[in-house]
Homo-oligomer: A and B are copies of this chain.
Amino acid sequence: MDSIQTRIERSNNMIKIPTIRRLPRYLRVLQSLSSSGREFVSSETLASLLNIKPIVVRKDLAFTGISGKPRVGYSITHLISLIEGTINFKGKNTAFLAGAGNLGSALLGYNGFARHGLDIIAAFDVDPQKTDTTIHGKSIYPLERMPEIASRLNPYIGILCVPEESAQQVADIMIASGIKGIWNFSNKELNVPPDVVLQNEDLGAGLAILSIAIEKSSRP
């Protein structure tokens, strides 16, 4: 069994989910600061740009391993590089996308993924009208060819944009194709084996938070 000491150390070293969520935000403002020619930035400045508290910034950045200088702040280029390293935005995250409907097509055309090191290398659909065409320059293949094409291209991530009814089935094909993680944009609760990582993207959640917050702020 772990000693108390071991457990404390581990929990101190592990990067936390809320921190991970904020890292891409730091990255964006840092890139913007960098392109405007700035070299250093303080936790105070970053905090005000993200509407959070400076202490949160310092705690978050500590996880990347950066060391700031008192009275100067953090080196922007160094920080960008460390954050990119922390969230794997440097090494290419290769992905397959399944379901070239409205949302799937939009994601195929989303420029922001390049900045996040995500490369959608192939897309799949069951609709014969879509297969063997391209959408935003990405080839659409018949879904049944996924395992075969995966064995050549070795994708890491499966982006799931199919309707709920077929979500589990398509997820299973992704898993059989050797994908390591599924980014689930369908509103289906998926079952995946323990070695496959599942990240649910739920628009309903964001809308619910917004909706409740508006309700509260309108009658305080």
Contacts and interface: CB of A to CB of B under 8 A. Distances in A.
Interface string A33-44: 000000000000
| Chain A interface helix/strand/loop/mixed | helix
Interface residues of A, number: 60
A83 to B, nearest CB: 9
Contact of A25 (B17, B181, B202): B202
Interface of A: 15, 17, 20-25, 27-29, 49-51, 86-89, 93, 102-103, 105-106, 109-110, 112-113, 115-118, 136, 156-157, 180-181, 183, 187, 189, 191, 195, 197, 199, 201-215, 217-218
Would you list the 3 A-B pairs with minimal beta carbon distance, nearest first? A24-B204, A106-B106, A199-B210
A145 to B, nearest CB: 24
